[in-house]
Amino acid sequence: MAMLFSSSAAGSLPSRRSRSVAAKLAPFASPIFSSPLLKQGSDTAFGLRSPTPGLSVHPRFASRGPLTRSEEAGKAPFGFSTARGEQTATETNAPRFGTSLCSSFPLSATQKSHGSREKGLTNERAFSTFSFQGFMKNVKSRNAKPYTGPPQKVVVLGTGWASVNFFRHLDPNIYDVTVISPRNYFTFTPLLPSVCAGTLSPLSCIEPVRSLTYRNGRKVADFYEAHCTDVDFKNRIVACDSRQGGHFKVKYDYLVIAVGSESNTFGIKDVAANAFFLKEVEHAMAIRKKVMNNFELAALPQTSEKERDRLLHFVVVGGGPTGVESAAEFADFIKEDMSKYFPQLIPHVSISLIEGGSRLLGTYPPDISAFAEKTLTEELHVKLLLRSTVVGVDATSVRYVSNEPGASKEPKELLHGFVLWASGVGEVPLVKKIIAENFPNVEGKPRLRGLPVDAQLRLLNQPNVYALGDCAAIAPPRLADAAQELFSKAGAAEPTPQWLGRHAPTLAQQFPQLSPLKFNFAKLQSNEHLPADQFESFLAEIDAAYRPPAPTAQNARQEGIYLAKVFNECPHPEEKADAPAFQETWNGSLAYVGSGQAVAHLPYFNIKGGFLSLPFWKAVYTQMQITWRSRTICLFDWLKTFFAGRDVGRDHEYYNH
């Protein structure tokens, strides 16, 4: 296991100063972004000289060759390092890009459609978050001019995965950081289902933000516990309300919006009033309290049998990882712990899981979904209601409609004592306000989920404002707008889909819809030459198939680290526009399915249960914790649960007689 989670790259860095910095950086970039088309020191792209005179690219963006086999073996799964949780840039050695020149690829139509910059889009090489530790430890020399001005004011809204990984990696010598959030702690969201069942304590899933604002004994960020209520983009001011009722304003040079999301009820009436969500640690604590209250009420002698059945029927809506893990944790809790203290109530306990799709864990391979369904139904006796849509929730019942072929469309009713709503991601009020005021709906065009940002995560039409994580949706420049330039680059002899596929690693640095995670050129069979109109249609199909990065903790973390690299490497405002596009790296997905079994969908192999699956699941999540404090508490709680069982207590309630 130690070797499995090692993140040190194989190969040593040359120590001779005469060697180029780009050569030193070579072992630390991802192979999917390498391309033989760009040559170090070259001023051409695709073998053609740029037609735009005087167009230059900032020298910090390097080209490199592919990883060696030994370097590939050195990458850690999920892109997380086993080094100390305080994975921050040192004050004198912040993460930087490479320093070799890259050629430009001006695309005027694309540039005009997004209003990104007058120079046009550039063809710099993108990079992977795998390279971060290598950048931190080994980049010593830089060819670009250092920043010598006063610290620039950066205001960060939020304390989630994206924001924390952003401000923790910023260079404090360049930026004066202020973090504003109504929550003064970071929440480790993947383990919230374990808190619901008492497997872990709430402290296992939170890290105080104020402890993260210090680095090596030096304060690197200020923190204000408050809600941001409005943003004045013209004057660069955010308006905030504190919990105590005070109002204040903060000016910024750069604003980073990473306020996360809230649960999406899809317009279904009374969901918010009668169901529980699971986005915060307070939600997990409230769920645990509700479950314990129901058991205590059911145990009272005056409670009828029918009422016991209702109180102890727990309904989970949503068959994704959160819903599956929550149902599994509830079932384990009841089977392993509550059965000892409430044996007379166990015949009345039931758990139902409602999912609109045809299988659980719809983003996982079908065999993993089948294993999860088998474990939940056969070992934990969870009732699955697949192909079912919830149409109403009230205090005592859930109404749903079956979408099975031939099934009646009359709503069916389930009496419940508790409903967990784990389906869908919606926008928080601040994001809705910004969208309504700055991005009105265009008739005939679907609106993106979240704040629209360009490929460098900048809010459209606001070059000094960025949005990350669940609250943002990348709207990259359209390939179809660049069809004429691309067709010209291909030349009369080779305007084929295969040509585009060969050059996709390079073009993806401007058009992330061409990255391997977004479009699979290997499935294309045709190699026929396309006329200009068909070539443009093919590009339009790729544009239509693009989907922004999913709202996951993994992607939010990568976006935060990416943007910190951009800020550290490009302290001057005019440099930030030349950054390569953000491209997420999929590092795998995990889920606990109950009875000590876990599943994993990984880049190179899958895991479907087994005696090592749960230790693997725990090891990965322990490694993902951002500090050693959180790792220690988490490990202690797991050990306590293993030897002494889960805690069946609850918060004290005062009864006024």
Cβ-based neighbour number of residue 564 at 10 Å: 24
* pLDDT tens digit sequence for 247-276: 999 999 999 999 999 999 998 989 999 999
DSSP labels for 416-484? -SEEEE---EE--HHHHHHHHHH-PPPTTSPPPSSEEE-TTSBBTT-TTEEE-GGGEEE-PPPTGGGHH
Task: Name the pLDDT band for 433 (thresholds 50, 70, 90).
Answer: very high
Burial label, 173 (beta-carbon count in 10 A; 0-12, 13-18, 19+):
middle
Spatial distance between the Cα atoms of 569 and 174, rounded to a whole number of angstroms: 10
* pLDDT tens digit sequence for 532-582: 888 889 899 999 999 999 999 999 999 999 999 999 998 988 888 888 999
Spatial distance between the Cα atoms of 566 and 179, rounded to a whole number of angstroms: 19
The sign of the CA dihedral 271, 272, 277, 279 is positive
- Contact (CB, 8 A) for 265 and 424: yes
What is the average pLDDT across 203-225?
Answer: 94
Spatial distance between the Cα atoms of 639 and 641, rounded to a whole number of angstroms: 5
Q: Where exactly are the structural domains of the chain?
A: 271-426+588-644, 480-545
- Contact (CB, 8 A) for 257 and 238: no
Q: Where is average pLDDT lowest: 43-57, 180-194, 218-232?
A: 43-57
Q: Where is average pLDDT lowest: 118-132, 423-437, 502-516, 586-600?
A: 118-132
CA 482 to the chain's CA centroid: 29
Task: Name the pLDDT band for 487 (thresholds 50, 70, 90).
Answer: confident
Spatial distance between the Cα atoms of 184 and 182, rounded to a whole number of angstroms: 6
Q: Which of 522-531, 569-578, 648-657 has the highest mean pLDDT?
A: 569-578
What is the average pLDDT across 3-28?
Answer: 34
Q: Average pLDDT over the chain, rounded to whole?
A: 80
What is the average pLDDT across 47-73?
Answer: 35
**Type of residue at 359:** R
* pLDDT tens digit sequence for 346-373: 999 999 999 999 999 999 999 999 999 9
What is the average pLDDT across 500-512?
Answer: 88
Task: Name the pLDDT band for 654 (thresholds 50, 70, 90).
Answer: low
What is the average pLDDT across 389-411?
Answer: 93
pLDDT of residue 346: 97
Closest residue by Cα to residue 570 from 28, 87, 90, 97: 97
- Show the DSSP H helices in 275-341 as ranges: 281-299, 305-311, 321-333, 339-341
- Residue that wins the pLDDT comparison between 44 and 205: 205
Spatial distance between the Cα atoms of 588 and 609, rounded to a whole number of angstroms: 16
pLDDT of residue 198: 94
Q: Where is average pLDDT lowest: 49-53, 220-224, 320-324, 603-607?
A: 49-53
Based on its alpha-carbon atoms, the radius of gyration of the chain, rounded to whole angstroms, reads 26
Closest residue by Cα to residue 546 from 574, 505, 515: 515
Q: Which CATH number fits domain 271-426+588-644: 3.40.50.2000, 1.10.3720.10, 1.10.10.520, 3.50.50.100?
A: 3.50.50.100
b/e burial code for range 497-522 (CB count within 10 A of at least 16 → b): bebbbbbbbbbbbbbbbbbbebbeee
- Show the DSSP H helices in 494-531 as ranges: 497-507
DSSP labels for 363-385? TS-HHHHHHHHHIIIIIS-PEEE
pTM: predicted TM-score of the whole model, two decimal places = 0.78
Q: Residue 162 pLDDT > 60, yes or no?
A: yes
